[in-house]
Amino acid sequence: MEKLFCLGVALGMIGGALIVANSYKARSLVKKSQAEVLQKVDEMMDERLKACGCGEETSEKKSAKKEK
């Protein structure tokens, strides 16, 4: 049963990759979604760092990286 599940997941990933590789709309949707997820993760990490008091140093480093 586990082997069939793993096989199905692998085939699904391959099929999804083929669809994205051959479709401009799907590729742009994936890129847009990835950017949104990364932005939300960055915001969440900033909030957690501020909550623990470590955020001041890391936010200064981030702003310095963005300016480059």
Q: ∠ CA(8), CA(12), CA(18), 5° rounding? A: 150
Single pTM value for the model: 0.52
Query: pLDDT at position 19, please?
Result: 87
Tokens of 68: 């480059």
d(CA 48, CA 20): 34
Which residue, among 31, 33, 55, 34, has the nearest Cα to 44 in the 3D structure?
55
Tokens of 6: 């793993």
pLDDT tens for the chain, 68 residues long, are 799 999 999 999 999 889 888 888 888 988 999 999 999 999 999 998 888 887 555 555 555 555 55
Contact residues for 2 (Cβ-Cβ < 8 A; gap 6+)? none
Query: pLDDT at position 21, please?
Result: 86
